[in-house]
């Protein structure tokens, strides 16, 4: 019986969180009126309307006709593209598959958790999409998944189907297990040179595997090769069909990876973290990779010491496509302020700073045709802010994904009392009590008449 009750309580909690998103969703045509629109592509437009129809940005201009559209008065407010996090581990039930050096067969899509409250909190920070990646335990890790934060929907409904597939590569301390657990055997590779060897070996095997299939399809051989879930994604990299997102901190490692890519004829889409990328900015520009960074977060391990807050500025100055990521369930809510820091450290222009959390991230993920800026024809992934998004005093008031409102601050505030009462009711249920209090019912208090008949004992005896 207790097991059944626990299941009921757990289901009720999940429904409570999901209900937050469902209760806030608003769909249909929307007209945002009289806002300051920061497009991230064509400058900032004051006193401007944005008409959304069928989930797309239909028109941008002044005094637009609403028709039957729901109107949102954004006078004194700012409208920006939905923020895109190019490196996240939100809504995942698993992050790393440690056992093998190459885990290209593992899929992040298989472990998505659509009930993760991080999704809702990200929406509250104006974030509409994210690149969900495998961890950094392997030279070649698992396949990533790009999602839109449609909170309250199923995992499949959150997947950004138009995004090209990607995969996680990694180098450095996490891969070679610099902080390995005592008593646990070390897995190869245990050095930086071993990491590169694992990658090179995987591409040699993938090229041979691809050649075997090419020969079979051309009729040169009669027996089909054995299918390899490990090598198929690596062949897609060689064919330019799968994007590589490469974790690393040191400039020498990222430089070696770019040389390895040239050796086998594939491209690195994004150098992730890239704390020392400023040292090789011209080389990165020449190669054509993007870089996704932290702005002022470093020193948390040895390989993360040698960076500077001007990293974004130097990369941008050299023409590199730079994005700012969170890699955190906390920083994901404050990416707007991280973008603002690039204006302080080096003087990155306002629109270029905004692009680092919107359009540039979309470019790195291969979805800039669909999202990342406020342009006619793009998906209506939009944040409405109380003030300038780079101000610490501003907050996202409303976040729309494909024209639907998935976060509304005013509705959130209105629901807080009701949710708090529901939480208290659930916590008071027996399965949620501390073990010592379970199964114990409070004794009913004595009736008032019985209390009156009970003699009152005092220091001097019975009265």
pLDDT at 25: 57
* Residue 365 to residue 377: CA distance in whole angstroms: 19
pLDDT at 10: 47
Q: What is the mean pLDDT of each run of 10 residues along the chain (463 residues)?
A: 47 52 66 98 98 97 92 98 98 94 97 97 98 96 98 97 98 82 82 96 98 97 96 98 98 97 97 98 98 95 94 98 96 97 98 98 98 98 98 98 97 94 90 81 57 50 38
Q: Using one digit for the tens of pLDDT, what is the confidence trace for 260-273?
A: 999 999 999 999 99
Domain positions in the chain: 83-371
* Residue 418 to residue 420: CA distance in whole angstroms: 5
pLDDT at 5: 47
* Residue 385 to residue 392: CA distance in whole angstroms: 12
Mark residue 418 as left, alpha or beta (left: phi above 0; alpha: psi -120 to 50; beta: remaining): alpha
For the entire predicted model, the pTM comes to: 0.88
- Domain 83-371 CATH superfamily: Metal-dependent hydrolases (3.20.20.140)
pLDDT at 126: 98
């Amino acid at each position: 019986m207790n097991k059944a009750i626990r299941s009921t309580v757990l289901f009720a909690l999940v429904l409570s969180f999901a209900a937050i998103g469902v209760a806030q969703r608003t769909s249909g045509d929307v007209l945002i009126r009289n806002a300051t629109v920061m497009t991230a592509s064509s400058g900032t437009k004051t006193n401007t309307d944005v008409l959304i129809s069928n989930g797309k940005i239909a028109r941008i201009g002044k005094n637009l006709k609403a028709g039957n559209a729901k109107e949102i008065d954004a006078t004194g407010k700012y409208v920006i593209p939905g923020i895109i996090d190019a490196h996240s581990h939100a809504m995942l039930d698993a992050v790393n598959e440690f056992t093998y050096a190459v885990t290209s067969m593992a899929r992040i899509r298989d472990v998505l958790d659509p009930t993760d409250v991080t999704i809702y909190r990200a929406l509250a920070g104006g974030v509409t999409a994210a690149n969900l990646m495998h961890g950094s335990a392997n030279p070649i890790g698992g396949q990533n998944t790009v999602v839109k934060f449609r909170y309250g929907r199923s995992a499949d409904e959150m997947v950004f189907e138009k995004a090209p597939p990607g995969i996680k590569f990694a180098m450095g301390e996490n891969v070679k297990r610099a902080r390995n657990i005592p008593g646990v055997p070390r897995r190869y590779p245990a050095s930086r040179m071993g990491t590169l060897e694992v990658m090179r070996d995987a591409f040699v095997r993938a090229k041979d595997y691809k050649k075997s299939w090419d020969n079979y399809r051309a009729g040169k051989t009669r027996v089909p090769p054995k299918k390899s879930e490990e090598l198929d994604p690596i062949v897609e990299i060689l064919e330019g069909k799968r994007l590589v997102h490469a974790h690393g901190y040191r400039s020498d490692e990222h430089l070696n990876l770019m040389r390895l890519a040239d050796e086998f004829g594939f491209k690195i889409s994004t150098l992730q973290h890239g704390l020392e990328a400023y040292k090789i900015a011209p080389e990165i520009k020449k190669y054509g990779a993007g870089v996704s960074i932290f702005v002022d977060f470093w020193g948390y391990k040895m390989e993360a010491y040698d960076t500077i807050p001007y990293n974004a500025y130097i990369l941008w100055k050299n023409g590199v496509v730079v994005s700012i990521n969170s890699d955190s369930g906390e920083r994901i809510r404050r990416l707007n302020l991280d973008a603002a820091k690039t204006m302080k450290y080096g003087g990155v222009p306002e629109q270029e700073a905004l692009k680092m959390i919107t359009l540039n991230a979309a470019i790195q993920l291969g979805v800039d045709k669909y999202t990342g800026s406020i342009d006619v024809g793009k998906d209506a992934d939009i944040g409405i802010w109380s003030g300038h998004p780079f101000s610490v005093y501003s907050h996202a008031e409303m976040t729309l994904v494909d024209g639907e409102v998935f976060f509304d601050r005013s509705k959130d505030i209105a629901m807080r009392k009701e949710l708090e009462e529901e939480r208290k009711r659930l916590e008071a249920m027996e399965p949620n009590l501390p073990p010592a209090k379970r199964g114990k019912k409070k004794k009913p208090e004595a009736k008032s008449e019985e209390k009156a008949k009970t003699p009152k004992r005092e220091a001097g005896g019975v009265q």
